[in-house]
Amino acid sequence: MKTRFFTILTIATMTVFFTSCKDKAKEAETTEATAPVEKTEVSTKYIVNTDGSTIMWTGHKPTGSHNGTISLESGVLTMNNDVLESGTFLINMNSINVMDIPVEDEKHAKLTGHLKSPDFFDVEKFPASAFEVTGIVTTEGKTMLSGNLKMKDTINNITIPVTITKNGDTLDITSETFTIDRSKWNVQYGSKSFFDNLGDKFINDDIELQIKVTSTKA
């Protein structure tokens, strides 16, 4: 009976392990900032619809996770012969919203305020983040978008897999879920990259993100 119990337990543990590994989003390739792409005279401009665009985030810690959204403040894309050429986005960091805690729960305001504080994104000092396209290539059937991500006082270049859809005068960009290592943007609170002896009180450096941008031909 004991042997059978431990066999079942082992299989269950392995199932959870492999499921977790399979479901874990990949970290975006992160390098030093590079020169952005310049638009050409023949390019077609698209204006980002901020109401229809969003950034979804999830943060993890040993005891669970939190998730929410961040809004875009503005954005412009250009296309050249139906190929994405350039793009810039401003991200409204004051729009950080927590989705997994009801608004009427006092913990909602507490967590939202903490994320906006100097412990995390220091929104009062850095009210906007930015993303600027530096390149786009197709690799093994996937479209890989590269751009400089400025957050707080740091800029790094990230490369993420996206789907680009053009339908009439509408242009949509949707990323796969990916992660960034917040420590590379100097977001320090609860990070084992900066602090020792945190025990199980640490917060994972990886932040899961998915970006959905919709835009309309100018």
Burial label for 145, CB within 10 Å (0-12, 13-18, 19+), is buried
- More confident call, 140 vs 10: 140
Has residue 7 been placed in a domain?
A: no
pLDDT at res. 123:
98
CA distance 9 to 26: 28
In sequence order, the 6+-apart residues with CB closer than 8 A to the CB of 101 are: 66, 107, 108, 111
Closest CA to 182 of 198, 163, 158: 158
pLDDT at res. 162:
98
Matching residue, tokens 């810690």: 61
Average pLDDT value over all residues in the chain: 89
Has residue 169 been placed in a domain?
A: yes
Has residue 158 been placed in a domain?
A: yes
pLDDT at res. 200:
87
pLDDT at res. 14:
40
How far separated are the first and last CA of the chain, in Å rounded? 71
Q: In the chain, how many domains are there?
A: 1
List the single range of 67-76, 118-127, 191-200 with lowest mean pLDDT.
191-200
In sequence order, the 6+-apart residues with CB closer than 8 A to the CB of 217 are: 44, 45, 46, 169, 170, 171
What is the average per-residue pLDDT within 58-73?
A: 96
List the single range of 3-12, 95-104, 193-202 with lowest mean pLDDT.
3-12
pLDDT at res. 23:
60
What is the average per-residue pLDDT within 2-12?
A: 40
The structure tokens listed for 30 are 């992160």
Q: Which domain holds residue 49?
A: 25-217
Check: CB of residue 39 under 8 Å from CB of residue 86.
Answer: yes
pLDDT at res. 201:
86
| CATH number, position 64 | 2.40.128.110
What is the average per-residue pLDDT within 142-167?
A: 97
Has residue 13 been placed in a domain?
A: no
pLDDT at res. 11:
40
What is the average per-residue pLDDT within 50-70?
A: 96
CA distance 118 to 102: 24
Has residue 40 been placed in a domain?
A: yes
pLDDT at res. 20:
41
Over 80: is that where the pLDDT of 1 sits?
no
CA distance 62 to 203: 7
One-letter amino acid of 68: G
The structure tokens listed for 168 are 């009439």
CA distance 215 to 84: 12
Has residue 5 been placed in a domain?
A: no
Over 50: is that where the pLDDT of 43 sits?
yes
What pairs with residue 211 in β-bridges?
55
Over 60: is that where the pLDDT of 203 sits?
yes
One-letter amino acid of 155: I
Has residue 123 been placed in a domain?
A: yes
Has residue 15 been placed in a domain?
A: no
Q: Are strands 170-175 and 178-181 parallel, antiparallel or unpaired?
A: unpaired
